[in-house]
């Protein structure tokens, strides 16, 4: 920071797009500044003290360690390269002492490697030297806003626990070690503001993990906004995410805030990130780095937002980086904590648990609440366990809902009652001929009273479901590639998948099911 920084008027929260903080709120927020450069240290402290915050300073790493071990700080600004104690050690100590502390790393030798390592260890953001007083105050404003939101959320969670007992607001079901590992990682990262990158096959539960992380975060009282990057054309995706100004394009008859502004204070879930274009990736990177949003058609900064990012894909992000489809700097910004969600076939212990949950849920949804819920017989459970589930949990959900609609109250569900017909053993081939042969060889049984048109529609629907399942697997879960193979546009493919429960529409509201994305 230049020597004159202390003479620069600090921008007010309203100017930088954040809510105003009362003197009472500011007086409760405690800062620690750790830097061996006296001028910078005192300039930062002066700006914060003038603004009404509690500020402590340390010129040596050992001094900072003592302060961190004996006092709790809301926000810590530390130089990454201290002479006596490494900045990484100070960062670890700060977070071990108080996991909710926001740590901002300052460095005069910024590099991708050091920045990624600091973020991986839990730093909230980093500030390359030299920086202006305005840049400093904007970043501090975002950090203070995060602290304020966290306190409000903590109070609301405590009130919720008092009224309702301690229970997960987003229910995840699974007892298999591989799935519990993913959930345990999600639970550990949830209280932080670290960006999370979720990978796994389509329908395995990626959006549910995102909902779980948000619900257990200090941002849970603010919105979780989901956007499917593959479901919207490039121009529309940019407008939806960043907003637009009146007259920016044909049809833009008024100013419109984007989803980033809607998610301010909360979480933005970027599903199918690999489908995002490179220009939109560049704009997103700017928001992640600076929190600055510029609407389409605008020549000025329209808002400063404080958003946590969770990204997901059913593809291989590292392969996409190598091929040039995904920006490397954006990938490492979003992949602070990677979480892999396994396919359903890798967690057979969870199938009976999920099937019974869906059975009870959809019986309440479609049938008389007072009537007896059907029970899954041993034959049905064996068939469910032996099926390969190419559509993962979403396909299981669809199968059980179909079964519920046709079953009598209190009946035992048999293997032949399940709509996938003869269960395909796990590991069986899923090539085009395999699916075609299976469709052709399946014995079709129809009630005598079923008319031609009813039978035709039912069989066409079954063919579409099987074809789409094969198609997505054949394309390696890449929706764009699947659309090219099928010779249909991507929007049509999504509509067909939604019809058969293989793809859920974009929504910011939680799913009623415990594991359907």
Average pLDDT over the chain reads: 80
* Rg, the chain, Cα only: 26
CATH of the domain at 416: 1.10.8.60
Does the CA dihedral 469-475-480-481 come out positive or negative? negative
Does residue 126 sit in the same domain as residue 67? yes
In this predicted model, what pLDDT tens digit does every residue of 69-97 receive, in sequence order? 888 899 999 988 877 888 888 998 888 88
State residue 401's pLDDT score: 92
In this structure, are 85 and 233 located in the same domain?
no
Rounded Cα distance between 470 and 457, Å, is 20
Residue 34's nearest CA partner among 105, 120, 100 is 105
User: Which pLDDT value is given to residue 158?
Assistant: 57
Domain shared by 335 and 351, yes or no: no
Residues 400 and 325 in one domain: no
CB-based contacts of 66-69 (< 8 A; 24+ apart in sequence): 67/32, 68/32, 68/93, 68/94, 68/97, 69/93, 69/97
Domain assignment of residue 510, yes or no: no
Q: With H, G, I as helix, E, B as strand and everything else as coil, classify residue 67.
A: helix
370 and 269 part of one domain: no
Whether 448 is covered by a domain: the verdict is yes
Crossing angle, helix 133-164 and helix 38-50, to 10 degrees? Answer: 60
The crossing angle, in degrees rounded to 10, of helices 452-474 and 479-486 is 130
The DSSP line for 86-110 is: -HHHHHHHHHHH-TT-EEEEEESS-
The 10 Å Cβ neighbour count of residue 131 is 17
The label of the residue with tokens 């006092």 reads: 71
pLDDT in tens, 194-217: 999 999 999 999 999 999 999 999
pLDDT number for residue 10: 42
Q: 176 and 316: one domain?
A: yes
pLDDT, residue 160, reads 45
More confident residue, 285 or 161: 285
Residue 503 CA, distance from chain mean position: 17
Domain boundary among 309, 342, 375: 342
Same domain, 337 and 353: no
Q: pLDDT at position 398, please?
A: 92
Predicted TM-score of the model (pTM): 0.56
Q: Does 72 map to a domain?
A: yes
Q: Is residue 517 part of a domain?
A: no
Average pLDDT over residues 455-482: 78
Locate 34 and state its tokens: 């750790």
Write the pLDDT tens digit of every residue in 226-284. 999 988 888 888 888 998 888 777 777 788 888 999 999 999 999 999 999 999 999 99
Shared-domain flag, residues 90 and 181: no
Same domain, 333 and 212: yes
- 161 in a structural domain: no
Q: How many domains does the chain have?
A: 3
Q: Where are the beta strands (DSSP E) in 232-279?
A: 267-271
Q: Per the domain annotation, does 515 fall within a domain?
A: no
- Residue-wise pLDDT tens digits, 92-116: 888 888 888 999 998 877 666 777 7
Q: Which of 154-163, 353-362, 505-514 has the lowest mean pLDDT?
A: 505-514
Does 301 share its domain with 377?
no
Residue 253: domain span: 169-342
pLDDT digits (tens, 9 = 90+) for 389-432: 988 999 999 999 999 999 988 888 998 889 874 334 443 333 33
181 assigned to some structural domain: yes
DSSP string, 308-357: EEEEEESS-HHHHHHHTSS-HHHHHHH-SEEEEPPPGGG-GGGHHHHHHH
Share of the chain above pLDDT 90, in %: 33
What pLDDT is recorded for position 340? 95
User: Quick one: pLDDT at residue 122?
Assistant: 84
- Does the pLDDT value for residue 3 go beyond 80? no
Give mean pLDDT, residues 118-129: 83
First to last CA, the chain: 46
Please write the tens of the pLDDT for every residue from 18-58: 556 788 889 999 999 999 888 989 999 999 999 899 999 99
Q: Which of 342, 377, 408 is the last residue of a domain?
A: 342
Confidence of residue 321 (pLDDT cuts 50, 70, 90): very high
Q: Which helix (H) or strand (E) element contains residue 111?
A: none
Q: Assign residue 198 the CATH number of its domain.
A: 3.40.50.300
- Asked which of 313, 342, 371 is the last residue of a domain, the reply is 342
For the chain, count helices (H), then strands (E). 20, 14
pLDDT at position 442 over 70: no
| 132 and 7 housed in the same domain | yes
Question: Is 406 in the same domain as 475?
Answer: yes
């Amino acid at each position: 920071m230049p020597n004159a920084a202390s003479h620069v008027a600090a921008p007010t929260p309203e100017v930088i797009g954040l809510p105003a903080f009362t003197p009472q709120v500011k007086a409760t927020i405690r800062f620690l500044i750790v830097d061996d450069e006296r001028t910078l240290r005192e300039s930062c402290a002066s700006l914060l003290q003038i603004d009404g915050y509690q500020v402590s300073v340390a010129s040596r790493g050992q001094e900072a360690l003592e302060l961190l071990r004996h006092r709790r700080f809301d926000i810590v600004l530390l130089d990454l390269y201290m002479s006596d104690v490494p900045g990484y050690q100070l960062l670890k100590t700060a977070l071990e002492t108080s996991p909710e502390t926001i740590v901002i790393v300052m460095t005069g030798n910024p590099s991708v490697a050091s920045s990624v390592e600091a973020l991986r260890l839990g730093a909230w953001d980093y500030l390359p030297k030299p920086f202006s007083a305005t840049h400093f105050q904007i970043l501090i404003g975002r950090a203070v806003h995060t602290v304020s939101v966290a306190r409000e959320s903590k109070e609301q969670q405590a009130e919720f626990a008092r009224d309702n007992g301690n229970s997960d607001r987003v229910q995840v079901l699974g007892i298999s070690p591989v799935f519990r590992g993913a959930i345990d990682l999600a639970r550990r990262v949830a209280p932080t503001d670290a960006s999370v990158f979720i990978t796994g096959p389509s329908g395995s539960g990626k959006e549910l993990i995102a909902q779980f992380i948000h619900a257990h975060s200090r941002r849970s009282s603010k919105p979780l906004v989901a956007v499917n990057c593959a479901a919207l054309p490039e121009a529309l995706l940019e407008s939806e995410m960043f907003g637009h100004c009146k007259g920016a394009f044909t049809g833009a008859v008024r100013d419109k805030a984007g989803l980033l502004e809607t998610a301010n204070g909360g979480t933005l879930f970027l599903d199918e990130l690999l489908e995002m274009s490179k220009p939109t990736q560049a704009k997103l990177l700017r928001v992640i780095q600076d929190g600055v949003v510029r609407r389409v058609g605008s020549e000025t900064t329209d808002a400063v937002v404080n958003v946590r990012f969770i990204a997901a894909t059913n593809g291989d992000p590292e392969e996409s980086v190598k091929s040039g489809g995904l920006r490397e700097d954006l990938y490492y910004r979003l992949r602070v904590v990677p979480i892999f969600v396994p396919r359903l076939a890798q967690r057979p212990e969870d199938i009976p648990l999920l099937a019974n949950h869906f059975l009870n849920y959809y019986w309440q949804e479609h049938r008389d609440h007072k009537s007896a819920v059907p029970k899954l017989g041993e034959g049905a459970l064996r068939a469910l366990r032996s099926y390969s589930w190419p559509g993962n949990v979403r396909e299981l959900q669809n199968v059980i809902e179909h079964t519920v609609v046709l079953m009598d109250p209190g009946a035992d569900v048999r293997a032949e009652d399940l709509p996938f017909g003869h269960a395909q053993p796990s590991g069986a081939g899923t090539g085009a001929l395999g699916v075609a042969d299976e469709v052709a060889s399946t014995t079709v049984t129809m009630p005598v009273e079923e008319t031609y048109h009813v039978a035709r529609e039912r069989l066409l629907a079954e063919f579409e479901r099987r074809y789409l399942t094969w198609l997505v697997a054949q394309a390696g879960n890449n929706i764009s590639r699947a659309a090219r193979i099928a010779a249909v546009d991507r929007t049509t493919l999504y509509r067909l998948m939604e019809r058969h429960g293989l793809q859920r529409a974009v929504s910011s509201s939680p799913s009623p099911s415990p594991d359907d994305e």
